[in-house]
Amino acid sequence: MHFHLLWWLHHFAFPPAMDECSCSPHAHQCLVVSVFWIGAILIDMLLLKKQTEDISSVYEIREKLGSGAFSEVVLAQERGSSHLVALKCIPKKVLRGKEALVENEIAVLRRVSHPNIVALEDVHESPSHLYLAMELVTGGELFDRITERGSYTEKDASHLVGQVLGAVSYLHSLGIVHRDLKPENLLYATPFEDSKIMVSDFGLSKIQAGNMLGTACGTPGYVAPELLEQKPYGKAVDVWALGVISYILLCGYPPFYDESDPELFSQILRASYEFDSPFWDDISESAKDFIRHLLERDPQKRFTCQQALQHLWISGDAAFDKDILGSVSEQIQKNFARTHWKRAFNATSFLHHIRKLGQSPEGEEASERRMVRHSHPGLRAGQPPKW
């Protein structure tokens, strides 16, 4: 427990961003926010983990739903009721060195309550495990649902993006940056056609007590340029990730891709992408304009969530109603079978690799070697990559 208290004091009472913040006119406001969060988090940690000798006395375990890097998720029924939860079971032995990651996820989830965000319902602790009882969502992952649909239009994509924007805008209003938005973390609440979409997985989220964050993290194809450059960054990284997701939802393949991480990151750093024909021929100019504002290289010029929500492609009637399921579904199935887009990355390793080659991330040699979707052997113009 003492380790956790020290960790939270270091990261929230005196976060790295406070160094900059203390020199600004907003220093007092930043300090107040930090003190508020540290107080709330310490209360969570000290009081809200329910102790149990055996989790089976609290829940009846039904079946395994999935597994992650250091946890397993099972379907569980609360004893004495019919209530079902997705129970995240984390062995303490694998938590050594990862305590901060789990405590961070708990702290963030304790703070949020939104219809499009998977809720943390309870936390239990046994001598051997930590258990997070999560709201059960049964509708499956975003891409799986799209490929199973009978029809799919630009309007459907606009509706999906609007829901996610609403959830992320809510997080940003609380000073929370998700930092790992990607299709795998967007789940449908139910199997029904009118199901809402839910944002999940807050393991890499961060409560932004000051102005900026500094730790580079995320999933390769969705990370923003400023994060790769290891510059201080903030909420705009989530907007960039939503731009990548929006692009994929309209064509089925990503705006940036290369088999090599350094090449992929070079593409992202230049924010160089295309609306390839024929895949974008039937997509509205409004959709393309929306994406341009989200995939803006300069985070200061990039849309905020609120600005994105006000764009006519989201708030108006600009999205086309033509069925694009065939093309989008085919490309999703081709392009997202590999694990490359599901890996976490280390920006420090990338920058070290670039410097070792004697190149800058945006150097001429890197620029000449990387042409989005045209550097793949045998790839014809206007044809997305098949990797």
Binding residues: 93
Q: Distance between CA 97 and CA 103 in Å, rounded?
A: 12
For residue 12, how many other CB atoms are within 10 A of its CB? 25
Ramachandran class of 114: left when φ > 0, alpha when ψ lies in -120 to 50, beta otherwise: beta
DSSP secondary structure, 117-178, as one string: BPPEEEEEE-SSEEEEEEEP--SEEHHHHHHH-S--BHHHHHHHHHHHHHHHHHHHHTTEE-
Residues with Cβ within 8 Å of 258's Cβ and at least 6 positions away in sequence, in order, are 264, 266, 267, 370, 375
Task: Output the known binding site for ATP.
Answer: 93
Q: What is the β-pairing status of strands 72-78 and 84-91?
A: antiparallel
Judged on CB neighbours under 10 Å (0-12, 13-18, 19+), 173 is exposed
Q: Which of 177, 195, 198 is nearest to 187 (CA)?
A: 198
Contact at 8 Å (CB) between 341 and 181? Answer: no
Catalytic residues: 180
Judged on CB neighbours under 10 Å (0-12, 13-18, 19+), 51 is exposed
